[in-house]
Chain A
């Protein structure tokens, strides 16, 4: 693979849900690239297919559903859609990792956070038991959790929402993935914690040289985080481009409508 070759090449990806007699086309043939070290944003409203796209890359379906995928998802030249279940498991979590919106339901409430990080390392690395323990502490520290050595023994409920998201990020980066897919990673958090988590993602991306696929409905969140942005609407990418250009001069009316709806800090009401 040459330096400029995309890390991920998605071509004509389509995702269909089959529910009873009905077929719902959630993603209708989209194509995009993510280059090594690049951060790409996917913006759209709920139901536009952005989360289904993220999961489709790893051949995951939303809980309780079956999804039929077509097209191709090439990772380092290898089509992930054509891999065996066993082979895709070696990619999932290890080479391409994911962080989801809800940090509470994504963690196991009855396991310590240390054990959950260690599980990941045991599955995907051949580190010794002691090395795994050490690595878990190191990862918690890396995501900005103070007193990491003691806190590996804590359970998720002993952490705040923002801290739980940090734990999920620690699990996601534990095997040094090439690509981190973050699906609405800050939607459940308040502004200050959101800024902290975004800053953390930027720092980790810089330190580890990984690519970032950031999925959000929030143009404010995507603005400072990515080089390129794809706007999705009804299962299609309706606009793609360099982030500054898309914000300054949106080409598609839908992008313009979405940007216009974003509240600005600059307009206030006068006294009643």
Chain B
């Protein structure tokens, strides 16, 4: 078996408590590996710590404890220039394709930026690389002179993906990359991410609350609740034979496009649990 590309061990992230209270452990002892060319799906409810985990892996959140190894090097011990040099190996695709592209920059300028920052192509060859990147995400290279507002949501997300892939990263964290898109566009972007993985061998940490989407992209899946991973395994095993009751609860809550099944599912949410779960889910305590 190939050595893992990403090795996360006992990762912990703490945020200061509200109103001088004790610190909140947003990520509390998380460990996982991602192999080259593999997708690990990270699922959980909002507030479970999945986004913070993704950011901490990329060293965009201060790590309180634990280690994150990428290509064998511990990122948590790196600072300044060393860490900046590692950034070309790890990239980020965010949820909102409307706010993650600079509105006054053309697509060419947007895609040129990482090439210049990381000096990955010789001076003068940037435009050719930009064209190549647009073709990679199935956009017409002739569109490089346009501005983000001239594109649809799905096209913008393709540009965001092209920007992430510009510097040949080995690893991309995708945080809810399709949740702002229509179903048909979602399916196209998910298909694109899978094709790019096959073509480029890139690994993904795919963070999403939609378990059905994650099933389409992930080889392995981790389920997160309250800052901890409660179950991790091969996708087929986690979905078909979940070991943890929380995983089962998440799976039962997925709205499936089958009227008879969905009616039965909604009927099974008992009213008292409904209220209690709501009270536990983010309500003020004390």
Indicate whether A191 sits within 8 Å of B259 (C-beta atoms), given known contacts A163-B282, A224-B265, A268-B235.
Answer: no
Which B-chain residue is minimally distant from A243 (CB atoms)?
B259
Tell which of B66-74, B142-150, B156-164, B213-221 binds the partner.
Answer: B213-221
The docked-state distance in angstroms from the alpha carbon of A145 to that of B45 is 19
Chain B contacts with A in 230-266, Cβ cutoff 8 A? 234-236, 239-240, 249-266
The docked-state distance in angstroms from the alpha carbon of A154 to that of B282 is 14
A209 interface hit (Cβ, 8 Å): no
The docked-state distance in angstroms from the alpha carbon of A96 to that of B220 is 47
The docked-state distance in angstroms from the alpha carbon of A221 to that of B265 is 11
The docked-state distance in angstroms from the alpha carbon of A206 to that of B212 is 29
Indicate whether A269 sits within 8 Å of B212 (C-beta atoms), given known contacts A45-B183, A46-B182, A154-B284.
Answer: no
Tell which of B33-41, B85-93, B101-109, B113-121 binds the partner.
Answer: B33-41
A272 interface hit (Cβ, 8 Å): yes
Which A-chain residue is minimally distant from B234 (CB atoms)?
A271
The docked-state distance in angstroms from the alpha carbon of A144 to that of B249 is 19
**CB of A169, distance to nearest CB on chain B (Å):** 12
Docked-complex contact A220 and B274, CB < 8 angstroms: no
**CB of A211, distance to nearest CB on chain B (Å):** 18
- How many residues in A have their beta carbons less than 8 Å from beta carbons of B? 51
Docked-complex contact B255 and A160, CB < 8 angstroms: no
What does DSSP make chain B's interface, helix, strand, loop or mixed?
Answer: helix
Docked-complex contact B254 and A191, CB < 8 angstroms: yes
Docked-complex contact A269 and B235, CB < 8 angstroms: yes
Set of chain B residues within 8 Å of A203, measured between Cβ atoms: 271
A166 interface hit (Cβ, 8 Å): yes
The docked-state distance in angstroms from the alpha carbon of A258 to that of B183 is 7
Interface string of B195-227 (1 = CB under 8 A from A): 000000000000001111101111110000000
A267 interface hit (Cβ, 8 Å): yes
The docked-state distance in angstroms from the alpha carbon of A179 to that of B219 is 45
Which B-chain residue is minimally distant from A47 (CB atoms)?
B182
Which A-chain residue is minimally distant from B237 (CB atoms)?
A268
Which A-chain residue is minimally distant from B187 (CB atoms)?
A261
**CB of B105, distance to nearest CB on chain A (Å):** 25
Docked-complex contact A195 and B257, CB < 8 angstroms: no
**CB of A130, distance to nearest CB on chain B (Å):** 26
**CB of B145, distance to nearest CB on chain A (Å):** 24
Indicate whether A191 sits within 8 Å of B253 (C-beta atoms), given known contacts A154-B284, A220-B262, A257-B184.
Answer: yes
Docked-complex contact B183 and A217, CB < 8 angstroms: yes
Docked-complex contact A223 and B255, CB < 8 angstroms: yes
Docked-complex contact A218 and B38, CB < 8 angstroms: no
Interface string of A136-159 (1 = CB under 8 A from B): 000000001110000000100011
The docked-state distance in angstroms from the alpha carbon of A269 to that of B39 is 10
The docked-state distance in angstroms from the alpha carbon of A264 to that of B258 is 10
**CB of B198, distance to nearest CB on chain A (Å):** 10
Docked-complex contact A146 and B275, CB < 8 angstroms: yes
Set of chain B residues within 8 Å of A193, measured between Cβ atoms: 45, 278, 281
The docked-state distance in angstroms from the alpha carbon of A8 to that of B102 is 45
Docked-complex contact B250 and A192, CB < 8 angstroms: yes
The docked-state distance in angstroms from the alpha carbon of A214 to that of B38 is 39
Set of chain A residues within 8 Å of B279, measured between Cβ atoms: 145-146
- How many residues in B have their beta carbons less than 8 Å from beta carbons of A? 60
Docked-complex contact A269 and B266, CB < 8 angstroms: no
Chain B contacts with A in 268-286, Cβ cutoff 8 A? 269, 271, 274-279, 281-284
Set of chain B residues within 8 Å of A199, measured between Cβ atoms: 266, 269, 271, 274
Interface string of B152-189 (1 = CB under 8 A from A): 01000000000000000000000000000011101100
Set of chain A residues within 8 Å of B281, measured between Cβ atoms: 160, 162-163, 192-193
A32 interface hit (Cβ, 8 Å): no
Question: Which of B37, B187, B264 neighbours the largest number of chain A CB atoms within 10 Å of its CB?
Answer: B187
The docked-state distance in angstroms from the alpha carbon of A259 to that of B209 is 20
A36 interface hit (Cβ, 8 Å): no
**CB of B205, distance to nearest CB on chain A (Å):** 13
The docked-state distance in angstroms from the alpha carbon of A265 to that of B278 is 25
Set of chain B residues within 8 Å of A270, measured between Cβ atoms: 219, 236
Docked-complex contact A191 and B209, CB < 8 angstroms: yes
B46 interface hit (Cβ, 8 Å): yes
The docked-state distance in angstroms from the alpha carbon of A154 to that of B283 is 11
The docked-state distance in angstroms from the alpha carbon of A164 to that of B39 is 34
Chain B contacts with A in 22-52, Cβ cutoff 8 A? 35, 37-39, 45-47
In the complex, 7 of the A-B residue pairs with CB atoms within 8 angstroms, ordered by the A residue number, are A160-B281, A220-B212, A224-B262, A261-B186, A263-B210, A263-B213, A272-B38
Q: Interface of B with A (CB < 8 Å)?
A: 35, 37-39, 45-47, 153, 182-184, 186-187, 190, 209-213, 215-220, 234-236, 239-240, 249-266, 269, 271, 274-279, 281-284
In the A-B complex, the 8 residue pairs with the smallest Cβ-Cβ separation, listed nearest first, are: A160-B282, A224-B262, A220-B255, A272-B38, A223-B262, A263-B212, A219-B257, A195-B253
